[in-house]
Amino acid sequence: MLHEKRRLQPPPLDHASDEIARFIETYFNAYNAARLRESCQLFARMIDEGATIGVSISGALTPAGLSSVLTPLMQKGFIDYISSTGANLYHDLHFDLDLPLYRGTADVATGAVDVQLRKDGIIRVYDVLFPADVLYKTDEWVYRVMLAPEFGKRMGSGELHHKIGKYALETAKQLGVKKPSILATAHELDLPVYSPSPGDSTIGLNFSAIYTAQPDRGPHVDPAIDVAEMSALVLDAKRADAGLSGVLILGGGAPKNFLLQTEPQLQEILGVAEKGHDFFIQVTDARPDTGGLSGATPAEAVSWGKIDPEKLPDTVVAYLDSTIALPLMAAYVVARCKPRKPRRLMKRMPEMMEKLRTEYRTTDLYKRHWG
């Protein structure tokens, strides 16, 4: 069942032919095909107009090998910061450790063989399969990494991931891995990566295990730091020369809201004069009428101050599977857009935090709370 020919090892999407961009522009004319074309074109506008671009990642995208699509976008300067489930970041580390994941088949996806998979020690993520040993080896690596003295402090998930990324990059290089993970690539680019629920993943399970053994060891992750840092980098984007902030949302869930709540944090909680993000793209298979489109539509987001009401035309929702849309959107912008210089926001974080504090101290809300 775990045949080597089915091993998931897609190469990085570093190059794309202009033909695929013309194909999308010519034949994606109506319904969700049109929304995908508009998403591609708006993503290109965000890049070309100099917006600071945040991407949220939910759903099991990295087990499917899609960090091979995301990391080239990071390297080309098309992604400036990330909000992700911890699970996506954890499972992407398997690739840095050169541990195998495999394509399954349609019969596997039905769940008819799960009892046998359990007996055979094989884990299933829909139609992606891997030996349970992949988890155990990754857990051992993560656990030992977080025992390093530099992790023994209070920190946000941005700093946690930056530190893990350093070790992931070193490991990938030692093993000759051609496609380093999101965290490894982010460390190299000083690109912030946040997880809104750091305890809701196997990374969280491992730092909890360290805390259980020795409460004074290991990272103590504080979400207040993450909220402040993301607000600081969005405010910096809006106060920069381009003055534009864009979001690309893959799926929904907590990563989506964590990406968007920066504007209510600035406006509602801190009292800073702001209007909302300027560009909004979401790829989702959820529906708003059942409450399943978490974080809501762009129009609803306007009511929360998450989206600038004057920029509502610069929003698109494509009702599609992210595993289909993301490679096409990435190929489009790789073909159409010139690479941008990495913003290295992680390195600039102390400066951006000081600017946020300075502006907050001038607001009426600050004076009311702090005198």
The sign one gets for the Cα dihedral 75, 76, 82, 85 is negative
Domain that holds residue 64: 4-370
The pLDDT tens digits along the chain (371 residues) read 676 779 998 999 999 999 999 999 999 999 999 999 999 999 999 999 999 999 999 999 999 999 999 999 999 999 999 999 999 999 999 999 999 999 988 788 777 788 888 899 999 999 999 999 999 999 999 999 999 999 999 999 999 999 999 999 999 999 999 889 999 999 999 999 999 998 889 999 999 999 999 999 999 999 999 999 999 999 999 999 889 999 999 999 999 999 999 999 999 999 999 989 999 999 999 888 888 776 678 888 888 888 888 888 889 999 999 999 999 999 999 999 999 999 999 999 999 999 999 999 999 999 999 98
Bridge partners for 2 per DSSP: none
- Integer angstrom CA distances of residue 309 from 143, 160, 305, 315: 45, 35, 8, 11
> Which sequence positions are flagged as catalytic?
306
Tell me how far apart the alpha carbons of residues 98 and 187 are, in angstroms, rounded to a whole number.
Answer: 19
pLDDT score of 295: 65
| 10 contact partners, CB below 8 Å, separation of at least 6 | 65, 68, 179
SS3 367: helix
- Structural domain count of the chain: 1
Tell me how far apart the alpha carbons of residues 47 and 79 are, in angstroms, rounded to a whole number.
Answer: 9
pLDDT score of 302: 86
Closest-CA residue to 70 (of 181, 173, 178): 181
pLDDT score of 294: 66
Question: Could you tell me the pTM of the whole model?
Answer: 0.95
Q: Write the DSSP symbol of residue 214.
A: -
Whichever domain contains 109, its CATH number is 3.40.910.10
Which alpha helices (H) appear in the chain, and where do they start and end? Answer: 18-27, 31-48, 67-75, 86-96, 106-109, 114-120, 132-145, 157-175, 182-189, 202-213, 223-239, 253-260, 262-264, 298-303, 322-336, 349-360, 364-370
pLDDT score of 1: 65
The sign one gets for the Cα dihedral 310, 316, 322, 323 is negative
Q: Write the DSSP symbol of residue 245.
A: E
pLDDT score of 177: 93
